[in-house]
Amino acid sequence: MREQLLAAEKVIAIDWRDGVLRLLDQRLLPQEETWLEYATAADVAEAIRLMVVRGAPAIGISAAYGLVLGARARLAAGGDWREALEQDFSVLADSRPTAVNLFWALNRMRERLERLKDGEDPLQVLEAEAVSIHESDREANLTMAQLGMELIRKHQGNPQALLTHCNTGALATGGFGTALGVIRAAHLDGLVERVYADETRPWLQGARLTAWELANEGVPVSLNADAAAAHLMKTAGITWVIVGADRITANGDVANKIGTYQLAVCAMHHGVRFMVVAPSSTIDMALESGDDIPIEEREGRELLELGGKRVAADVHAVNPVFDVTPADLIDAIVTEKGIVERPDTAKLAQLMCRKRLH
């Protein structure tokens, strides 16, 4: 399965080569495939804020490369480069608030810097750390895809209808995806009759990115309005809702794209299983519950306009872009360290002590 999955890897969103960071501009997909080049930490932070790159793991990986770019400039400028690099740490950390992978990746970079030995080249060390963050996310995707697929097969071995939300694929990660990785593996294993992709208003990650990724790979996909999800659960024989996560707290609560919470409520009502797929870098053991997660609010313009054209009445728009699904609505959290069924504080703590599988 691992080899089949690797062979199916077609799309990448982040490319680090010869000291240059290239990002596929996700604001323009699927109409245009444009790569943008980044040479400074501040520009990478802006790319994250503007959602040129998005998705929790992809944001973390991009921030790590952004820090490498920052270190290069600070070292070249001479003086107290470590002190100056603090500005790059903060500009990157301020780019988006909800996905913990961003802070996790920056912490890893900081810790590596703190372990720097005499004679080591700081730039080489930081670059190696960023590449390792990127590579290990790719590996985690493979492990989670296999575990999630086995979980689906355990409950029902026939082709089935799955529903997903937002974009959790190659565009959102360093590999081929978290929730979408599981869906890809399930498709390769003959377990997928059809994937229902929520359009994911207002930014349309589902309509523009998930539908594009799945259609490119020949996975049968239907796009639906977010508001159609409950109806589809009642009428289309959906067996699993499978989503990613931006932050999972110590008690198993999950922050993910706005609309995930209502999907979990509807899934519980209809007896549809609910799976969250996320690497352990998305788990924030420092926060007790989802109530503590900062929820990003984006501009009302994302709701008031369509394709840059005003469509809504002249009113104030409220645009929280993430919500929190309580742990008791979740059947399983799939990570590269293993699966936690019916998550709670004790099970999450146990999981975090484990090594990654494979």
Q: Is 278 annotated as a binding residue?
A: no
Instruction: Give yes or no for a contact between 147 and 242, defined as CB atoms under 8 angstroms apart.
Output: no
224-228 contacts, C-beta under 8 A, 24 or more apart: 224/196, 224/197, 224/198, 224/199, 225/198, 225/199, 226/165, 226/198, 226/199, 226/200, 226/201, 226/259
Q: Is 246 one of the binding residues for ligand MRU (CB under 6 A)?
A: yes
Select from 28-36, 121-129, 218-226, 239-247 the region that touches ligand MRU (CB under 6 A).
Answer: 239-247
Based on CB atoms, which residue is closest to ligand MRU, 62 or 168?
168
Which residues inside 303-332 make contact with ligand MRU, applying CB under 6 A? 321
Where would I find the H helices in the chain? 2-7, 41-50, 56-77, 81-93, 101-114, 122-155, 179-188, 211-216, 229-235, 260-270, 301-304, 345-353
Binding mask 125-164 for ligand MRU (x = CB under 6 A): ----------------------------------------
In the complex, least distance from residue 85 CB atom to ligand MRU, rounded to whole angstroms: 25
In the complex, least distance from residue 150 CB atom to ligand MRU, rounded to whole angstroms: 20
What are the φ/ψ torsions at residue 223 (nearest 5 degrees)?
Answer: -90, 135
Please tell me the distance from the alpha carbon of residue 225 to that of residue 236, in angstroms, as a whole number.
14
Give the active site residue among 88, 198, 226, 246. 246
Based on CB atoms, which residue is closest to ligand MRU, 62 or 173?
173
Instruction: Give yes or no for a contact between 183 and 192, defined as CB atoms under 8 angstroms apart.
Output: yes
Based on CB atoms, which residue is closest to ligand MRU, 130 or 144?
144
In the complex, least distance from residue 179 CB atom to ligand MRU, rounded to whole angstroms: 7
Q: Is 15 a catalytic residue?
A: no
Instruction: Give yes or no for a contact between 329 and 251, defined as CB atoms under 8 angstroms apart.
Output: no
Which residues inside 33-92 make contact with ligand MRU, applying CB under 6 A? 54-57
Q: Tokens for 334?
A: 């799939």
Q: Is 276 one of the binding residues for ligand MRU (CB under 6 A)?
A: no
Name the β-bridge partners of 21.
16, 38
In the complex, least distance from residue 93 CB atom to ligand MRU, rounded to whole angstroms: 16
Q: Is 56 annotated as a binding residue?
A: yes
Residue-by-residue DSSP string for 274-329: EEEE--GGGEETT-SSGGGSPPPB--THHHHEETTEE-S-SS----B-EEEE-GGG
Q: Tokens for 110?
A: 């900081």
Considering only 21, 172, 250, 254, the residue that binds ligand MRU (CB under 6 A) is 172
Half-sphere exposure of 334 (CA within 13 A, CB side): 27
Please tell me the distance from the alpha carbon of residue 204 to that of residue 209, in angstroms, as a whole number.
8
Residues binding ligand MRU: what is the number (CB under 6 A)? 17
Half-sphere exposure of 335 (CA within 13 A, CB side): 25
State the CB neighbour count (10 A cutoff) for residue 259. 21
Q: Is 208 annotated as a binding residue?
A: no
Based on CB atoms, which residue is closest to ligand MRU, 30 or 159?
30
Considering only 257, 264, 333, 340, the residue that binds ligand MRU (CB under 6 A) is 257
Q: Is 10 annotated as a binding residue?
A: no
Considering only 109, 142, 166, 334, the residue that binds ligand MRU (CB under 6 A) is 166
Q: Is 178 one of the binding residues for ligand MRU (CB under 6 A)?
A: yes
Select from 118-126, 128-136, 182-190, 238-246 the region that touches ligand MRU (CB under 6 A).
Answer: 238-246
Q: Which helix (H) or strand (E) is 98 found in, with range? A: none
Binding mask 192-211 for ligand MRU (x = CB under 6 A): -------------x------
Q: Which residue is nearest to ligand MRU (CB)?
A: 244
Dihedral (C-alpha) 164, 97, 334, 209: value to the nearest 10 degrees? 30
Residues identified as active-site: 246
Binding site for ligand MRU (CB under 6 A): 54-57, 99, 166, 168, 172-173, 178, 205, 244-246, 256-257, 321
Binding site, annotated residues for substrate: 54-56, 96, 205, 256-257
Binding site, annotated residues: 54-56, 96, 205, 256-257
